[in-house]
Amino acid sequence: MSIQHITKGLHGDNTLDETLFGLVARDLEEKGYSVRPAALPEDLAYSLHDFQQTMSTRDYEAAGTGRGGDYLKNEFVRTDEICWITGESAAGAEWLSWTGRLQQYLNRRLFLGLFSFESHFAHYRPGDFYKRHYDAFRGETNRVLSVVVYLNPAWNPIDGGELVMYESDLDTDGLKVVPLMGTIVVFLSEEFPHEVLPAKRDRYSIAGWYRVNASVDNKIDPPL
């Protein structure tokens, strides 16, 4: 899905409400991505942070790449660990409610046809990384929008762990995003290769994806 497709979805004079969702929608229209430092509601950010801090190593699994039968764990590509968010906890339910409202807003304003949402907590230990990759390949998946939220109080830029977003495969500089508490990043999944650089301390975040419906033969395409 192209940035031009999103632009065609807007109507009226493109004047958006000065709300967070409106700012994200405007960024997506203009650039295909949105970076909003410390923009997640503070109570939600700390609820998610506090819950993730109570999780034990048994709650996580080694992260991999791919989906379904193509799922593969490869420590040459990524070394973080993840835990899928099901909404069973109060913090998880609050997060899914918030992302549900964002989904409704973006569908209403940009006509994206977002159908479902999946997300997981991510924990990067010191030295962990996720090498340059796309969240979706053109025509091969139904992920449309990627969402990342950072849960790291008192993070210092010298701690590393930046997300680096590239405009294309030819871009070697990229845009670095420091994983500050409550920072939100939303981008078109097919458009931007990106990577996570190693950090000097434990790094916590949530990664999620909005998807369109890829049902076949009247069977609803599941989110996982």
Tell me if 220 is assigned to some domain. Answer: no
Tell me if 84 is assigned to some domain. Answer: yes
Domains held by the chain: number: 1
Of 51, 79, 55, 54, nearest in space to 65 by CA: 79
Rounded Cα distance, 40 and 34, in Å:
13
Range of the domain at 59: 3-7+14-66+73-211
pLDDT at 1: 46
Residue 56: phi and psi, rounded to 5, are -100, 170
**Residue 15 scores a pLDDT above 50:** no
Rounded Cα distance, 129 and 97, in Å:
29
Tell me if 216 is assigned to some domain. Answer: no
Q: Write out pLDDT tens, residues 78-131.
A: 889 999 999 999 999 999 999 999 999 999 999 999 999 999 999 999 999 999
Token duo for residue 78: 């990524």
Contact 161, 183 (CB under 8 A): no
Tell me if 222 is assigned to some domain. Answer: no
**Residue 52 scores a pLDDT above 60:** yes
State the pLDDT confidence band at 60, using cuts at 50, 70 and 90.
Answer: very high
Compare 180 and 71 and report the one with higher pLDDT.
180
Mean pLDDT of 135-164: 90
Flag the least confident range among 32-46, 140-154, 163-177.
140-154
What is the pLDDT of the chain when averaged over all its residues? 85
Mean pLDDT of 173-198: 97
pLDDT at 74: 53
Rounded Cα distance, 223 and 68, in Å:
11
For residues 143, 32, 114, 24, the Cα torsion angle rounded to the nearest 10 degrees is: 130
Mean pLDDT of 136-153: 86
Token duo for residue 210: 């909005």
Tell me if 221 is assigned to some domain. Answer: no
Contact 25, 106 (CB under 8 A): yes
Residues 6+ apart with CB under 8 A from 96: 85, 87, 117, 119
Rounded Cα distance, 65 and 173, in Å:
24
Element (H, E) at 23: helix 20-31
Report the share of the chain in percent with pLDDT over 90: 74
Rounded Cα distance, 73 and 58, in Å:
17
Tell me if 163 is assigned to some domain. Answer: yes
pTM over cut 0.85:
no
**Domain containing 49 — which CATH number?**
2.60.120.620
Compare 165 and 57 and report the one with higher pLDDT.
165
**Residue 198 scores a pLDDT above 70:** yes
Tell me if 120 is assigned to some domain. Answer: yes
Tell me if 93 is assigned to some domain. Answer: yes
